[in-house]
Amino acid sequence: MREYIIMTDSCADLTAAEVQAMDLTVVPLHYELDGVTYVNYPDHSELDSAEFFARVSAGAACKTSAVSVGDFVDTMRPILAAGKDILYIAFSSGLSTTYQSGVIAAEDLRAEFPEATIEVIDSLSASRGQGRLVMEAVAEKAKGKSLSEVAQYVRDSIQNNCHWFTVADLNQLKRGGRISAATALVGTMMNIKPVLRVSDEGKLESVSKARGMKAALTEMVNRMEETGVAPLADQTVLICHANCPESVEFISKLLRERFGVTDIRAEFIGPVIGAHTGMGTLGLFFRGEHR
């Protein structure tokens, strides 16, 4: 069996420590903040996460860009030249063109390295939901499974990979064109928080609304109770957040008290997704019977 590496992109929102521990290759996306372009490295070395969200919350203009075909080729070619194969688990095609760029790069490189295997999987996932799939892939690889076996495991797991989000700053959704100015104004006045999920097609969709952040977080935990694979206490639950430690503590306490969950891993949401959701966003990721 040929040696292979597991690759993902920075929208998996895995920390530098997690990347190192799992021996991953991570292709970074880019974002532009007030006209300055930054590389979204896992260690956020170019701009601290807390500062990023503070600036976005203050109204800084932010744009994001997908990984280019050229960036993928530059990352993949040395790995293939070293005689290794590649399993790339990509940011959802429903939210970015990054997956398509990876497909094109892989096709180009197969002509150059005909003996190599390059698997590109559309995770239909985002943030630490995508990160969960990567973690599971690494765990399967550690069992001695081949690239094709791990790739099939990931594909079989995609629709069991549950993502639930809520957003504190409706004005950020307005700036991104996702809701109208009137909706943002009324929602802010009434303290309405949307409860969203990543759909079967890998797109962000609004499911319900709650009055206040605690109600929205509770609704997310209720969704986990409805669809989560039992026993919930045995799950590794991932959280992403946009500098809102109070929300992290509130939802973590609910998970511990209601389900007995002990393995809860909370980290910052990355700037590429955070640029569109703003300060106060929180995401909950777990394994479910379905999305």
Q: Domain containing 93 — which CATH number?
A: 3.40.50.10440
Over residues 21-74, the pLDDT tens digits come to: 999 999 999 999 999 999 999 999 999 999 999 998 888 889 999 999 999 999
pLDDT over threshold 90, residue 106: yes
Residues of the chain with pLDDT > 90: what percent? Answer: 83
pLDDT at 172: 62
Domain boundary among 139, 158, 177: 158
CATH of the domain at 184: 3.30.1180.10
Return the pLDDT at 171.
65
How many angstroms from the chain centroid is the CA of residue 120? Answer: 17
In a domain, 152, yes or no: yes
Residues 136, 190 within the same domain: no
pLDDT at residue 186, as a whole number: 45
Is 153 in the same domain as 9?
A: yes
**Are residue 100 and residue 217 in the same domain, yes or no?**
no
State the residue range of the domain holding 120.
4-31+66-158
Domains in the chain: how many in total? 2
pLDDT at position 23: 98
In a domain, 52, yes or no: no
**What is the arithmetic mean of pLDDT over 161-184?**
70
Query: Within 10 Å of residue 155's Cβ, how many Cβ atoms?
Result: 14
Nearest Cα to 64, choosing from 101, 29, 18, 99? 29
Residue 18 pLDDT exceeds 50:
yes
> How much is the mean pLDDT over the chain?
93
Q: Report pLDDT for 58.
A: 87
Give residue 185's pLDDT band: very low, low, confident or very high (50, 70, 90): very low
Shared domain for 166 and 251, answered yes or no, is yes
Residue 87 CA neighbour count, 13 Å, CB half: 27
Q: Could you give the C-alpha distances from 42 to 18, 47, 183, 249, in angstroms and in order?
A: 9, 11, 34, 23
Q: How far apart are CA 86 and CA 70, in angstroms?
A: 16
246/279 Cα distance (integer angstroms) = 13
For 240-260, the pLDDT digits (tens) are 999 999 999 999 999 999 999
pLDDT value for 277 = 84
Rounded CA-CA distance 176/274 in Å is 11
176 pLDDT above the threshold of 80: no
- In this prediction, residue 169 carries a pLDDT of 76
Q: For the chain, what percent of residues have pLDDT higher than 70?
A: 93
90 and 26, same domain (yes or no): yes
pLDDT at residue 108 in the model: 97
Domain closes at, from 124, 158, 192: 158
Q: What is the rounded distance in angstroms from the CA atom of residue 131 to the CA atom of residue 12?
A: 5
If pLDDT is split at 50, 70 and 90, which confidence band does 75 have? very high
